[in-house]
Amino acid sequence: MIASPATVRRVASLVAGALLTSPVSATPARDAFASIPNVTIAPYLVEGDDALAVRRSIDARRPTDAHDGTRVDAVSSWDMRWSWPRTRGGGCDLRRATIRYTATVRLPRLAATARLTPAERTAWDRYLAALMVHEAGHVAYTYDRRSDVLAAIRSATCATADRAARAALAAIDAYHIAYDRETGHGATQGASFP
């Protein structure tokens, strides 16, 4: 098999606040990504005695978006690796090319010691649901577009297949940049807290 080097792309970021609650409430995260295989939710712990303190905790611990260097509350990344078998003559069989896809969604997780009022918890739950919709939009789009990468490989030559795959990835990246711009990184979808 001929395999590409790892091709990791920054998929999504969320500038507004994002929190996963206790493991019981982590179910919305799993549900949002249930139809997409190989997605890992990678939480980072945040805490506070009220919504504003939780916000400060997020601001202090949030990751950096590899695409533009912006500090964000949540970020999704994905990895596509492609490969194809060699032929007996030393060439390649691009018709039998395959793609392996994985994604990671990095989100804050509310510490068990955090305290929110019932109204803040309601706002939190609404926000978490919107956040999952936004992040799942990024991950699902990329997952669904693996066929574009595969088609680019299969229509190329052995010498141009890797370059064709990378061009298809660039088109996928362009979509995600536009999606974040149009949704305000999820804010227009309700992803803001507090």
The pair of structure tokens assigned to 103 is 């994604």
How open is the CA angle 102-107-110, to the nearest 5 degrees?
Answer: 140
For residues 99 and 28, what is the distance between their CA atoms, to the nearest angstrom?
A: 28
Q: Are 14 and 79 in contact (CB under 8 A)?
A: no
Write down the pLDDT at residue 123: 84
Instruction: Give the pair of three-digit tokens for residue 93.
Output: 């069989």
Parallel, antiparallel, or unpaired: how do β-strands 39-46 and 2-3 relate?
unpaired
pLDDT of residue 14: 35
So what's the pLDDT on residue 107? 86
Closest CA to 189 of 85, 95, 74: 74
User: Which pLDDT does position 63 carry in this prediction?
Assistant: 87
pLDDT score of 6: 37
Question: Could you list the pLDDT tens digit for every one of the 194 residues in the chain?
Answer: 444 433 333 333 333 333 333 233 344 555 788 889 999 999 888 888 899 998 999 899 988 877 778 888 888 999 999 999 999 988 999 999 999 999 999 888 888 877 899 898 888 778 878 888 888 999 999 999 999 999 999 999 999 999 999 999 999 999 988 888 898 888 899 888 88
Nearest to 105 by CA among 144, 67, 131: 131
Structure tokens at 138: 């990024």
Q: Which amino acid is at 93?
A: D
pTM of the model as a whole: 0.80
The domain spans of the chain are 2-189
Largest CA distance in the chain: 69
Give the pLDDT score at 37: 93
CB neighbour class for 36 (10 Å; exposed up to 12, middle 13-18, buried from 19): middle
Angle between helices 161-183 and 146-154 (to 10 degrees): 150
Give the pLDDT score at 29.
54
